[in-house]
Each structure stands twice: as structure tokens, then as C-alpha cells.
Amino acid sequence: MTLVKVEPERVLVNFLRTQITDPNSSRSGQWIYEDFPRVEDLGNASFPRIGVTALTESGQRMGIFDDNSLDTVSFQIDVVAKKDRLYSITVTAEALGTMVSTVNSNRFTYDFVPTTITNVQHGGVSYGTVSFVNTDANFTTPADLAAGTVEVSRSTGNLNFSSVDVAAHDTQAITSTYIYPLEGKKCAQKIAREIIKDIKNNWRTGFSDSLFNPKKIGGNPLPFDEDLGIYRYTLEYQFQTFNAGEGL
């Protein structure tokens, strides 16, 4: 049995600090803290920020003759991003899908439309030309598109492949390395989604058994705060732990 030797919110903060990448590459130091995130007296360069707050804590003894307690702790995680603060995010070798014959009807798409595309690859080999078009309506007919060329729609993030490449690269993995802009509401949402993914995938190893059995209670994008110029995305989680906070 692993006991939580520090307050549970510090355990969660330490986990997030090791898992979440700061989109603001121009700063150094911490940006994830216990308690609600401080926002009112900070400059734009201090955003985005994450705050972790323990909301409730309950527990019960594990047996009549056992003094150990199985506790449940609820947390609120606040992600705060500033309006008009733009960050350039690099994504390396993101899996877009597996090449199939229907790729030009059920299209691959980027979650965030890139500003710069380093490469699009099939089976680890780069296509020779990647070019932008304004909308899907501007895509070249696949039969007329030169082999080795990929088109990307600026309006949707959809991809268009040559018919020759669709046939030649059938069943191969399609990946891409690219840069996209992140700002305001999308920034807060993106970080919140990353938190959800990292808790889901890494809680077994990331918490060293001190917090376990995570349960997502809710996720809520809050309205834009006109006075402070911020977007906020709030998550609520429950974890179980043994003897919360003992050993301090």
C-alpha cells in the first residue's frame, strides 16, 4: 500500500508538470500551480496557466480492525489562456491515418490547420510536394494530381492525394510534421484535452500508486471573461488514495 505523503493536490500538480508541454516557449519556470490560477495582476507573457484545487475529501476505514482509510478526493483543474496570445505549436510525425482507396472522399484532416507543413509521409517516406489551396473546392481532381503531390485545404485542414499515390501507397501509414497556431479559447481547450489524455493514459505509472482510479466528473469551457481578457476551461476529477495527506 502506498500512502500519500503530501497533499493530494501537490501529487496531481507534480504529475501535470511532468506530462503537459507548455505552449509558451518564450518563458521558463513553472506555470502549473496548486490553488485557483492567479490571473488579475499578471502580464500576457505569464499565460497560459493551470491551477489545481482539491474540492472535497471523503473516506472510510478498510476494515473493522484496519486503521487505514480508502479516501476519495475531488479536484478542480482550471486552464486559463489569454485572448490574442498566439503560440506556434510543432507536431512531429502525427498519425493521420492509413492509406485506403476512399481517402479522397473520407479525407484525412488536421485537427488544427497548419501554417507550415514540414512533411507528409507514407510509410516514413516524404511526398515530394505539399501545397496549400484555399478550400476543398480548389482541390485538383485526384486523377489529374501529379504523383508525389499532396494538397491541404486552408479552410478545413483536409488533405487531397493523387490517385496514383492512393493506389501505390495502399495500407501505408500517413504521418505529418507541421506547425499550427494556438490562441485563446483553442489554447485552453487544447491543454484541457491534453490533461484528459495524459490522466487516462499515464495515471498508472505517473502517480506511483499514490492516486488511482481517476474518474472524470466533468469538463466545462467557461464564457470569455471580457474584463480580464481570458478564456477558461475547467475540469473536475475524482481520484482514490490511501490515507490522504498522512505523513506530513
Would you say 59 and 24 are in contact if contact means Cβ atoms under 8 Å apart? no
Same domain, 133 and 166: yes
Residues ≥6 apart with Cβ < 8 Å to 94: 175, 176, 177, 178
Q: For strand 173-183 and strand 116-122, is the pairing parallel, antiparallel, or unpaired?
A: antiparallel
Assign 1 a pLDDT band (cuts: 50, 70, 90). very low
pLDDT above 90 covers a percentage of the chain that reads 69
Write the burial class of residue 192 (CB in 10 Å: 0-12 exposed, 13-18 middle, 19+ buried). buried
How do residues 70-99 score in pLDDT, each as one tens digit? 889 999 999 999 988 889 999 999 999 999
Write the burial class of residue 157 (CB in 10 Å: 0-12 exposed, 13-18 middle, 19+ buried). middle
Q: How far is CA 32 from CA 13, 119, 242, in A?
A: 7, 33, 24
Residue 201 belongs to a domain with what CATH number?
A: 3.30.70.1700
Same domain, 78 and 191: yes
Identify whether 47 is part of a domain: yes
Same domain, 144 and 188: no
Indicate if the pLDDT at residue 248 is higher than 60. Answer: no
Would you say 163 and 149 are in contact if contact means Cβ atoms under 8 Å apart? no
How do residues 88-135 score in pLDDT, each as one tens digit? 999 999 999 999 999 999 999 998 899 999 999 999 999 999 999 999
Least confidently predicted of 12-26, 33-47, 189-203:
33-47
Indicate if the pLDDT at residue 218 is higher than 80. Answer: yes
Last residue of a domain, one of 171, 199, 228: 171
Identify whether 3 is part of a domain: no
Residues ≥6 apart with Cβ < 8 Å to 146: 129, 162
Q: What is the pLDDT of residue 242?
A: 87
Assign 27 a pLDDT band (cuts: 50, 70, 90). confident
CA distance 224 to 145: 44
Domain containing residue 143:
100-171
Q: What is the pLDDT of residue 5?
A: 61
CA distance 2 to 12: 15
Identify whether 2 is part of a domain: no
